[in-house]
Chains A and B, each alone.
Chain A
């Protein structure tokens, strides 16, 4: 009797009694498949409507050719993406540690080594995610003021593919600092030793709102980013020829 029940449960194609068993097994199967989809395993079928983008990398360092005029530098980053994009996992905001190069040469790299690991889900490549970094510095008296802004797109074709030794393996973005619009602002910022900041740095990412701003670029921020995509080819996208 015990053995018959076992075979009845397992071989559900032969017996007529398995009509009672099969709905339970179907429920069990559906529960199992939803559990498999949420941690996004490779075994789960990719549904045909969206693709996922896995981004890993780091903010490596900042380089200032004649040295930053500050003692300690730190960065605050924010990930910005279009309306079709949804952040599945990973932090959208972050602050790095405060790093310095005053014990070494003035134009040494200031290393942050800040990890960035996020996952996005989207239905269209429009509004591809970007990372917007605000670089701040602290001078000897402890005042923090802005050093500049830098932003890059997340890599679209997987990340750095170096075929040439002359191209560095780091993704370099210029650090842009807003300038005061008039001379009174220049004098005030020199007296108070604070640079002007943008109220909303996201206007640098929008071509319609950045008209009329005056910026100065000095220094570069280096990133090392890699991207893996899943499910885009099924939607018909052609990433490579």
Chain B
């Protein structure tokens, strides 16, 4: 069985409108991928920056996967939530990225989107920090099947630095260029 090690950090969130953010991340992969060690999902602490409009998480990610097939290459899904003074939280960004297909250090930028307000009341609530609509089912994030009729708006970026180590792929005839 070929193995993949993913070692890195979820660094920060930039260009979001709200200052206090946290990020829920998870790695999803196909049926033939098995988790050997590590945790494939997590939630960062709430973070804000004193001067700039960014949030530093620096959350370490360390995952060991083993696979029997190349299908279902792992993806990293992120959901960014904002918190206000009253400890209410609502999602301000959804995004995903596929893992790069070659070993080595990578710096990934995940561009996120959020649901656009559809009524006047929702846009007022959004401006004054009350909340914004959330997705009911999360599989919209990584499947393109039922996205029609969903109105979204662009949101900030999540920056992730990942190092990928592959093992025993040559025994199965897989070459990386």
- B-contacting residues of A (Cβ < 8 Å)? 65-66, 82, 124-128, 130, 150-153, 156-157, 173-174, 176, 204-205, 207-208, 210-218, 235-241
Knowing A126-B37, A238-B167 are in contact, say whether A153-B58 is a contact too (CB < 8 A): no
- The 3 A-B pairs of least Cβ separation, nearest first, read A207-B42, A213-B45, A174-B56
Task: State A143–B39 Cα separation when bound (angstroms).
Answer: 40
Which of A65, A173, A213 is in CB contact (< 8 Å) with B46? A213
- A-contacting residues of B (Cβ < 8 Å)? 5, 7-9, 12, 20, 36-39, 41-51, 55-56, 58-62, 64, 102-105, 163, 165-171, 176-177
Please, which residues of chain B bring their CB within 8 A of the CB of A128? 7, 62
B45 with A215: CB separation less than 8 A = yes
Which of B51, B59, B64 is in CB contact (< 8 Å) with A210? B59
Knowing A126-B5, A207-B43, A216-B48 are in contact, say whether A241-B102 is a contact too (CB < 8 A): yes
Knowing A174-B56, A217-B56 are in contact, say whether A126-B62 is a contact too (CB < 8 A): yes
* Chain B residue with the shortest CB-CB distance to A235: B167
B62 with A217: CB separation less than 8 A = no
Task: State A126–B35 Cα separation when bound (angstroms).
Answer: 12
Which of B42, B50, B103, B171 is in CB contact (< 8 Å) with A218? B50
Please, which residues of chain A bring their CB within 8 A of the CB of B102? 241
Chain B binding surface SS class: strand
* Chain A residue with the shortest CB-CB distance to B59: A207
Please, which residues of chain B bring their CB within 8 A of the CB of A215? 45-47
Task: State A127–B36 Cα separation when bound (angstroms).
Answer: 12
Write 28 A-B pairs (CB below 8 A) sorted by A numbering: A82-B62, A124-B37, A125-B7, A128-B62, A151-B58, A153-B7, A156-B7, A176-B47, A176-B56, A176-B58, A205-B60, A207-B59, A211-B44, A213-B45, A214-B20, A214-B47, A216-B48, A216-B49, A217-B49, A218-B51, A236-B168, A236-B171, A237-B167, A238-B165, A238-B167, A238-B176, A239-B165, A240-B103
- Nearest Cβ on chain A to B100's Cβ, whole angstroms: 11
A237 with B165: CB separation less than 8 A = yes
Please, which residues of chain B bring their CB within 8 A of the CB of A217? 47-50, 55-56
A216 with B163: CB separation less than 8 A = no
- Nearest Cβ on chain B to A226's Cβ, whole angstroms: 14
Please, which residues of chain B bring their CB within 8 A of the CB of A240? 103-104
B58 with A238: CB separation less than 8 A = no
Which of B38, B41, B104 is in CB contact (< 8 Å) with A126? B38
Please, which residues of chain A bring their CB within 8 A of the CB of B9? 152-153
A156 with B165: CB separation less than 8 A = yes
- Nearest Cβ on chain A to B15's Cβ, whole angstroms: 16
The residue among A124, A150, A152 with the most chain B CB atoms within 10 A of its own CB is: A124
Knowing A215-B45, A238-B103 are in contact, say whether A207-B58 is a contact too (CB < 8 A): no
A125 with B5: CB separation less than 8 A = yes
* Chain A residue with the shortest CB-CB distance to B46: A214
* Chain B residue with the shortest CB-CB distance to A183: B85
- Nearest Cβ on chain B to A66's Cβ, whole angstroms: 7
B12 with A127: CB separation less than 8 A = no
A210 with B45: CB separation less than 8 A = yes
Which of B36, B44, B166 is in CB contact (< 8 Å) with A238? B166
Please, which residues of chain B bring their CB within 8 A of the CB of A82? 62
B7 with A216: CB separation less than 8 A = no
